[in-house]
């Protein structure tokens, strides 16, 4: 496994510029990964809706949305396959995209914890502002919904960990630094990635409720912008993924497990 210096250098701006120059990097991979999570989300929800319909659901698409924590892992699996493929074409590995270093695990975990308070400021600020703009109140819609016990445990204990690592690696570890090199503009790259990253939430779950979808589009923009800027400074995914994992785990707990135990 690569050391931190090797992993960081492999995904540095200079290394990406070199791979672009020798033809190993084109626009194809970054554009596909930019929209992959949204496409996989609709496909996965459609698969679950089909299963719900086969079991007699009168509203299969709506019922499927509650199972996002489970079919979310299908989204992650699809993204991991694409990340592996395009990283391999560049001659690097998934750990290179993450910037993993076992010697920094303790510091990365502590930095991930330190990222939670400022992240919550941007997340909650975006949620409240979006709620007021769309609904004219501060009552934020609940994303996670109650599930049976075993799916609930998966939603709280496993889903957030996988989700945090893959989502951060997709947008920050892979797409953002490559857009930065290919476009030649850091500001444009941050704007595009932050907006599309926020857009994916409109289809997670896809409800066809335009108020809810606008709320989901606007609310993540402050946080997605903040975390892309943090990544460009840090160039390592693990602290970002740790913060993401713990915050999503808390949200999943409140939405799925807390209704079962209170």
Q: Which residues are registered as beta bridge partners of 203? A: 206
Look at residue 108 in the predicted model and tell me its pLDDT: 93
Look at residue 7 in the predicted model and tell me its pLDDT: 60
On the 0-12 / 13-18 / 19+ scale of CB atoms within 10 A, 120 is middle
Distance CA 88, CA 79 (A): 14
Look at residue 185 in the predicted model and tell me its pLDDT: 97
Q: Which residues are registered as beta bridge partners of 206? A: 203
CB atoms within 10 A of CB 101: 20
207, two tokens? 């409800």
- Count of domains for the chain: 1
Look at residue 259 in the predicted model and tell me its pLDDT: 85
Q: List % helix, strand, coil for the chain (3-state, nearest 5).
A: 80, 0, 20
Cα torsion 196, 201, 206, 211 to 10°: value is -100
Q: Domain span at residue 160?
A: 4-261
Look at residue 2 in the predicted model and tell me its pLDDT: 42
| Regions of the chain short of the pLDDT cut 50 | 1-5
pLDDT for 120-143, tens place per residue?
999 999 999 999 999 999 988 888
CB atoms within 10 A of CB 138: 10
pLDDT for 71-84, tens place per residue?
999 999 999 999 99
């Amino acid at each position: 496994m690569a050391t931190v210096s090797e992993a960081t250098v492999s995904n540095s701006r200079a290394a990406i510029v070199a791979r672009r120059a020798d033809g190993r990097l084109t626009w194809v991979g970054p554009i596909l990964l930019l929209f992959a999570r949204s496409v996989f989300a609709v496909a996965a929800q459609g698969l679950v809706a089909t299963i719900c319909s086969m079991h007699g659901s009168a509203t299969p698409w709506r019922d499927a949305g509650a199972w996002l924590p489970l079919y979310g892992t299908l989204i992650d699996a699809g993204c991991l396959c694409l990340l592996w493929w395009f990283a391999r074409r560049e001659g690097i590995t998934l750990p290179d995209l993450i910037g993993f270093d076992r010697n920094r695990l303790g510091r990365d975990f502590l930095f991930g914890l330190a990222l939670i308070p400022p992240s919550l400021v941007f997340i909650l600020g975006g949620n409240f502002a979006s709620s007021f703009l769309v609904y004219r109140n501060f009552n934020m819609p609940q994303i996670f919904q109650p599930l049976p016990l075993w799916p609930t445990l998966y939603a709280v204990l496993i889903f957030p960990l996988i989700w945090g690592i893959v989502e951060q690696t997709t947008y920050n570890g892979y797409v953002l630094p490559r857009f930065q090199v290919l476009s030649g503009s850091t500001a444009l790259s941050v704007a595009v990635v932050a907006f599309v990253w926020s857009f994916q939430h409109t289809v997670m779950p896809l409800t066809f409720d335009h108020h809810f979808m606008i709320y989901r589009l606007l609310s993540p923009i402050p946080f997605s912008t903040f975390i892309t800027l943090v990544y460009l400074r840090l160039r390592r995914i693990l602290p970002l993924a740790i913060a993401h994992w713990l915050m999503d785990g808390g949200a999943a707990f409140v939405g799925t497990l807390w209704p079962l135990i209170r």
